[in-house]
Every structure is written in structure tokens, then in C-alpha cells.
Structure 1
Amino acid sequence: MEMRQLKYFMAVAKAESYSAAATELAVAQPTLSIAVRNLEQELGVQLFYTFGRRQRLTDEGQRLLEGAQRMMEEYRRTVEEVQNTGDTAAGTLAVGLPPLLGTCYLASLIPEFARKYPNVRIQVIEQGSYVIDQMIVEGELDIALTLNTEQVEQFETLPFTCQRVGVILNRSNPLSERESLSISDLRGQRFAIFNRDFALHWQIVGACRRAGYAPQIVLLSSQWDFLVEVAAQNRAITILPKPIYDKYPSAAVRWVPLSDGPRAWDVRLAWNKKRYMSNACKAFLSHVEGRRPPDDMP
């Protein structure tokens, strides 16, 4: 059994497709198929079966995947230890980052870190916080910025910042005159909010349902500036953290804080407690921790 075979096997297991895994690895699909078939012959078991045009793991395949993940983590740790001397930071650092957080906070922090640690190559993975959380669980990220949710409780975390969440709405909307708004006040409004990959989406939907109604969602997007523009054109209201409003000043809209529901944007630095933390990751954690923005909560 070779590391290359395990790498190919893990790629197919993740993508549930030989063709998608081959594209991800930049290898020919027959090469990938042969490698997995040879692995099955060597072990004397079937690792995949086809269901709904997807490659699903057999029981034996699932056990191999779990063992392969442990082996790859040990391999990574060994390489890091060989490459690094003392507290020297080197290697690749995979950082998970929801787009909102990158826009607000890490645009300057990451370049500063890169200048300070030129031997660390930073790979930024931008996804919604729900996707980021799952990638932490699966050990695909070294560290991430994400929102504090029930899922995050299983990780190691450090507080990063806590900011107010509010409603952005056109100034012609009568609610724009209020000093604060509750989720109940928004009944009957048209909502333009983040898509289902974002924790804020589910926080908003859940808060509306607890208030006794289903939100009238007219637009889902992953682009915060688009959501603000929709509100500026009086097509809908949107709910976003205060730092986003501060970065998109517009005379056409007003930001009004929420008095309940997702009123706080609780951002955490998070990592998988079972995953080996490299010197590069420790250096990044220290760098960001010392530059955390101040909280903005009443």
C-alpha cells in the first residue's frame, strides 16, 4: 500500500466520483481507477459501490478512510517536524474564512503575517460558515474564523470579536425611523439574506419561526454588497453585522440594531482539537490573537 494510493482513495471518497476526484488531483481518470482497483486487490475487499451515480463507501472502505485520515495526519506532522527547527514556522497553512469575515478583518492581517513569516504559504478557503465548520470537523483546515454556534462548541476556540447585528433597510421604509427593531417587527417584510451555506441564514430563519412566522425570502445570495444594494433600491430588507454596513455607506439605507434574534455576531478562531497544530498554525494564531478588533455590543 502506497501513500499515493491512499491519497487517490481519499479523493474518490470525498468527491464520491472518479471523474471529479481525477479533476481535483489533476490526474487521468484511468490512472485513478487503476490505483483504487489495485488497492482493493491488495486488501482483498471492495472499497466502493455505485449508488445513484455516486461512489459510496462500503463498510471496509469506511474503515480504511478513517485509518487513512489518521495516517495522513501523522505523515503531515512528521513532515512539519522535519521541516521546522525549534519554533520556526514553515510549510502550508490552510485557513478557513467566510467571505464576510475576510472582508471585515483579515484583508490586512494575512498580508502582515505573510511578510513576517515568508516561509509559510497561506491557502485561504472561502466558504460559508456552515461549510467551514464541516471542513474543521473533517480535518481539512488548520484554523478558521467562524461564528459561535452549537457546532463550534466541539472545537477549540478563542474569541475574536463580537459585533452587533441589525436590519439594513431603505430610508423610505417606516421602520427605518426606529432606534431598534425586533424580529416580530419584521413580519410582512421582504427579506434578502445570505444563502444556506451561512450560519446567519439559519439564525434569521429560526428567529422568524420562533416569532411565529416564516420570512418572505425574495433573494438568497453569498454577496453582502449585493444584499445591501437590494436594500438601497427598496426591493427588500437585509440583516447584516454593523461592520458590513460601515464598509458600504449609502445615503439610501439605514442600519437599525436588532433587539432580539441574531442580535450578536460572535466570531471565533476555531480549530479541530484532535488535529496536530503546526508551528505555522501556532504562529498564525498568535498573530491574529494579538490583533483582535474591539467588541461592539451594548
Structure 2
Amino acid sequence: MELRNLRAFVEVVRQGGFSQAAKKVFATQSTVSKAVKQLEDELGLRLLDRVGHKITQTAAGEIVFRRAQMMLTERDDLIHELDELRGLQRGVLRIGLPPIGSSVLFAPLFASYRRRYPGIEISLVEYGSRRLEEMLLAGEIELAASLLPVSEAFEWQDVSREPIMALLPDEHPCASGTQALDLTEIADTPFILFEAGFALNRVILEACTQLGIEPSIVTRSGQIDFIVELVAAGMGVAFLPRMIAEQRQHVGVCMRELADSELHWHMALLWRRGGYLSHAARAWLELAREEC
């Protein structure tokens, strides 16, 4: 069983088609199609069901996809571990960061890391926490920043813990208070949330569930500045960790800290439990312990 055939199959599933997978593995579409056919012939099972342009996995395909990801990850771990014999004079740090908070928490770390290890290339991807966790499990990145709690599939190192602020239009009845704000006080106000996949949404919505609140979600966005502008326009209430909210002071927007002591923004660095961590990744974690 050739790893290149497994990789081609995995990318067809991930990308949702042969042409997209071909771009990912830097091959032609026919080469990818042939690789998947060879894998099916070798296994004696149909792995993909093709209906028009739509591709779905068969039951056998689901098993092969799951196992193939593990095999490819182990292969990558092997290559990375051997590369590390050369130490930190060269290498790649593969890390994923979310859009919220990274500029404040991690930009200084990037500068420090670069000064200390100039030969290490930093390969950065930026997505919401859900996607980053998927990439960690698939072995596409070594480290990711995400909000706690996370599943037992990950180990983690603490970075920062911040209270969450409610951003309210100035004319809102709760805007003028000085005490910490209960979620129940703004339960009838429309919520402005981030796009699906952002872990801050999960924190807010789980707190609402515990309180028996069913919020009305007026809109979602992936842009912090746009969300603040929507609040200023009176569309509803939004939520940000304090360190980010304080950087987004805006005329027409009042900020109130949420009262629930369990409702917080707890950022950590994650890695796959039991997975190999390169020296480059370990050096990043050590630097984060020093500076965060």
C-alpha cells in the first residue's frame, strides 16, 4: 500500500473533489484519480461513491480515511523527528492561531522566537478554534491556540485567562451601570456573535444554556471591528475578552464586564495527545511559558 495513494485519497475526501485535491498534492486530476483507483483495486473495495460532481465516502471509505490519516500523521512525525537531529539550526514550526486575541498575545512571541531561532521557519495558519483543532488531529499543524475546555484528545499549556465584556449600545438600559452584568439582564437583547467555528461563541452559548436563556442571534461576523460598529449602530450586544475590548473603545459603545466567575476567555496552546512535538514546537512552548 503506497502512502502517496493514501494521501491522494485523504485529500479527495478533505477537499471534496479530485480537482481540488490535485491542487493540494501538486499533481494532475488524472493522477489523483488513478491513485484512488489503485487503492480501491488493492483493497478490493469501493471507497468513494461518485454521483455527478458530488463525492461521498462508502462505509469502507470512512474506515480507510480514518486509518489513512493516522498513518500519514505517523509518517510525518517520523520525518519531523529525524529532521530534528539537526537541532534548531533549521526546521519549521507549524502553528495555528485564531483571529481573536492573537495580535495581542502572540505577535510579541513571534518577534522573540524569531530573534532566538532565526533558522526556524514559522508556518502559520489562521482559523476559528474548531478548524484548528481538526487540523491538529489530522497532523497538519503541531500547535494551535484555542479556548478551554477542550477534548481529551489534546494536551494544553495555559496562556491567558480574561473576563468577558458585553459591548452594548450607549442607549441600552444596562449601559450606564457600574456593577458586573448578569447575562439574564441582557437575555432579551439580540446577540451579535462571531461566525461558526469561533470558540468564544461556544463559551457564551453554553453559559446561556445553563441559565435557561435562548438568545436571539441577529447576525454573525468574523471581523471584530465590524461587530463593534454593529453594536454602535444599535443592532444588539456583542462579547469580547477584556484585553481585546479595551483596544476597541468606540463612541456609542459601552462595555460591561459579565458577572459570572465561570464565564471567561481562557486561551491555551494545544497539541495532539501522544503526538510527537518537534524541537521547534517545544521551543515555542518554553518561550510562551517565559513570556505569557
TM-score (norm 1): 0.87
Q: How does 1:119-138 map to 2 (within 5 A)?
A: 119-138=119-138
1:25-78 CA-partner distances (Å, limit 9, x unpaired): 343212210121122223333222236954333344344334433432333233
One-letter amino acid of the structure 2 residue matched with residue 138 of structure 1: A
Displacement of 1:140: 2.6
Give 2:163's aligned residue: 164
> Letter of the aligned partner of 1:246 in structure 2?
E
Letter in 2 for 1:159: D
Instruction: Mark the CA change 1:78 to 1:212 in structure 2 (over 3 Å): closer, same or farther.
Output: closer
Cα RMSD (Å) of the superposition? 2.3
**Pair 216,131 (structure 1): closer, same or farther in 2 beyond 3 Å:** same
1:287 maps to: 287
Q: How much has 1:160 moved relative to structure 2?
A: 1.0
Q: Higher mean Cα deviation, 82-91 or 111-120?
A: 82-91
Against the structure 1 CA distance between its residues 138 and 116, is the aligned structure 2 distance closer, same or farther, given a 3 Å change threshold?
Answer: same
CA distance in 1, matches of 2:3, 2:213: 53
Residue of structure 1 in register with 2:58 after alignment: 58
Q: Which runs of 5+ in 2 are unaligned?
A: none
Would you say the 8 A contact 2:165–2:257 is kept in 1? yes
SS in 2 for 1:88: helix
Amino acid in the other structure paired with 1:165? I
Q: How many residues align?
A: 291
Alpha-carbon deviations, 1:128-172, whole Å to 9, x = none?
1122223223333201110002x3343111111100101111223
Instruction: Tell me: CA distance 1:96–1:201, structure 2 relative to 1, closer, same or farther (3 Å).
Output: same
Q: Return the offset for 1:121.
A: 2.0
Q: Which moved more, 1:72-81 or 1:275-284?
A: 72-81
Paired AA for residue 174 in structure 1? P
Residue aligning to 1:176 = 175
Partners of 2:249 and 2:83 in 1: CA distance: 47
The letter for the 2-side match of 1:156 is: E
Question: Is this contact kept in 1: 2:97–2:127, CA < 8 A?
Answer: yes
**2:151 matches 1:152:** yes
- Structure 1: 5+ residue stretches without partners: 293-298
Which residue of 1 is the match for residue 102 of structure 2?
102
Q: Distance in 2 between matches of 1:154 and 1:42?
A: 32
Q: Distance in 1 between matches of 2:135 and 2:164?
A: 25
Cα 1:40/1:153, change in 2 over 3 Å: closer
Corresponding residue number in structure 1 for 2:238 = 238
After superposition, give the CA deviation of every residue in 1:236-283 in whole Å (9 maximum; x if it has no partner): 221111011122122432211101286311111111113211111111
Q: Residue type matched to 1:211 in 2?
A: L
Amino acid at match of 1:160: V
Corresponding residue for residue 113 of structure 1: 113
Q: What's 2:27 paired with?
A: 27
Partner-residue secondary structure (3-state), 1:268 = strand
What's the offset of the Cα at 1:89?
Answer: 5.7
- Shift of the 89–145 alpha-carbon distance from structure 1 to 2, 3 Å rule, reads farther
Match of 1:195 in 2: 195
Identity of aligned residues (%): 30
